[in-house]
């Protein structure tokens, strides 16, 4: 993407901001150092802002000269509970915490956007809200932001967000109108069997047998109960059972996730899982507890706004992607406010930036931060909200 002079001038600062934030990763609703860093930076720009939004969030506000609409641009703030494996000078200083999902880059882009706007207020026609949101990774900060009325307070009419993404080439914008990212939920299953000596299995109830049937059998829910042209995933990612080699396992634990693009299919999967549970309870005379946690809805890009966003960018930078089964709490905003979410590619095989999100070696070339900032500026200029 061709960068404007104003963005080029900010590249080194974007890099510095990202590295500062990368050193101090914090978990959801615990982003106190991060919040203070953001507030201090905005204060240095003499920008209007509100701190302690849900305790750690921050909102900056720019009033246009002749406002016709109010845009919101969002960056998530929280890190992951994992150990960083990168050998870099700006490595995380917090044990078992890492910005392994690119949120440090998202915040750097938005702070760079704040500086750009502060230097070009004479060009700004419409109102701009910059939302630094806590706890995207969990339990989710977007829904309480809405419930507390923060976006209504600022009169937000359109909302935009991005995510660094190593699945597409560096600097490319991955986007699609309509459903882009899946609805998701989590489930926990506890099988309560009966312990016995391994030599006398007939007097016990073997939870290992039961959880094994669940792992294999529940896959038939996707293959036989869901329309084959409707994307759906049921993944069991954790299984724990047994005490010793010669003891019939008293209990078994399964943990997993459900992902779909349809509420109807999502509900059908949960109902079929309950049917499967009842059948096993009857077959094995055991008790099975099944707990569901509905998480984020589908990321659904407003078709009209998405088309405008695409037209505003360089044609060569746009990559229309297939829907992806990842999930994002940005979806909550889109249920109430028309919005657009897109990926900013970071994949660079020559430099080794190929590791996936939520990986201890995830990293990227900070030059892509300029591309993210430029995409926001391009949108405002195309819409006439920022005079060219």
User: What residues are labeled active site?
Assistant: 76, 137
Q: Write out the H or E segment, with its range, that includes residue 371.
A: helix 368-382
Q: Give the span between the Cα atoms of 96 and 85, in whole angstroms.
A: 10
Tell me, rounded to whole angstroms, the distance of Cα 378 from its chain centroid.
24
Q: Quick check: 371 and 175 in contact, CB under 8 A?
A: no
DSSP bridge partners of 383 = none
Q: Give the span between the Cα atoms of 106 and 90, in whole angstroms.
A: 17
User: What is the three-class DSSP state of 303?
Assistant: helix
DSSP result, 23-61? HS---TT--HHHHHHHHHHHHHTT-EEEEEETTTEEEEE
DSSP bridge partners of 255 = 188, 238
Q: Is 137 annotated as a binding residue?
A: yes
Q: Quick check: 38 and 47 in contact, CB under 8 A?
A: no
Count of residues in the chain: 388
Q: Is 163 annotated as a binding residue?
A: yes
Q: Quick check: 340 and 162 in contact, CB under 8 A?
A: no
Alpha-carbon separation of residue 294 from 154, 178, 260, 270, 291 (angstroms): 29, 21, 12, 10, 10
Q: Is 101 annotated as a binding residue?
A: yes
Enumerate the known binding-site residues for Mn(2+). 101, 103, 137, 163, 358
Enumerate the known binding-site residues. 101, 103, 137, 163, 358
């Amino acid at each position: 993407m061709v960068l404007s002079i104003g963005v080029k001038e900010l590249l080194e600062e974007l890099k510095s901001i990202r590295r500062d934030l990368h050193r101090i990763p914090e978990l959801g609703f615990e982003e106190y150092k991060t919040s203070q860093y953001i507030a201090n930076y905005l204060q240095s720009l003499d920008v209007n802002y509100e701190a302690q939004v849900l305790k750690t969030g921050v909102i900056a506000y720019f009033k246009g000269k002749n406002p016709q609409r109010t845009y919101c641009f969002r960056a998530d703030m929280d890190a992951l509970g994992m150990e960083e494996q990168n050998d870099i000078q700006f490595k995380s200083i917090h044990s078992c915490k890492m910005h392994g999902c690119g949120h440090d880059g998202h915040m750097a882009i938005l702070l760079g956007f704040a500086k750009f706007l502060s230097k070009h207020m004479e060009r700004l026609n419409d109102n701009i809200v910059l939302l630094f949101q806590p706890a995207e990774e969990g339990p989710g900060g977007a829904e309480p932001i809405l419930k507390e009325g923060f976006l209504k307070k600022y009169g937000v009419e359109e909302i935009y967000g991005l995510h660094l993404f190593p699945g597409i080439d560096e600097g490319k914008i991955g986007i699609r109108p309509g459903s882009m990212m899946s609805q998701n939920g989590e489930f926990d299953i506890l099988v309560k069997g009966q312990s016995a000596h391994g030599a006398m299995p007939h007097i016990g109830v073997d939870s290992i047998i039961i959880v094994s049937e669940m792992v294999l059998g529940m896959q038939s829910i996707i293959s036989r109960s869901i329309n084959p042209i409707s994307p759906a995933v049921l993944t069991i990612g954790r299984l724990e059972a047994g005490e010793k080699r010669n003891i019939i396992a008293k209990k078994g634990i399964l943990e997993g996730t459900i992902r779909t693009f349809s509420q109807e299919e999502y509900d059908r999967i949960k109902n079929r899982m309950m049917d499967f549970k009842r059948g096993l309870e009857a077959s094995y005379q055991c008790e099975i507890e099944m707990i569901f946690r509905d998480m984020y809805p589908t990321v659904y890009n407003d078709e009209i706004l998405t088309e405008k966003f695409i037209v505003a960018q360089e044609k060569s930078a746009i990559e229309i992607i297939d829907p992806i089964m990842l999930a994002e709490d940005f979806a909550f905003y889109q249920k109430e406010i028309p919005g657009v979410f897109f990926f900013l590619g970071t994949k660079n095989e020559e430099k080794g930036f190929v590791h996936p999100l939520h990986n201890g070696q995830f990293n990227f070339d900070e030059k892509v931060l300029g591309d993210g900032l430029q995409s926001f500026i391009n949108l405002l200029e195309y819409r006439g909200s920022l005079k060219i």
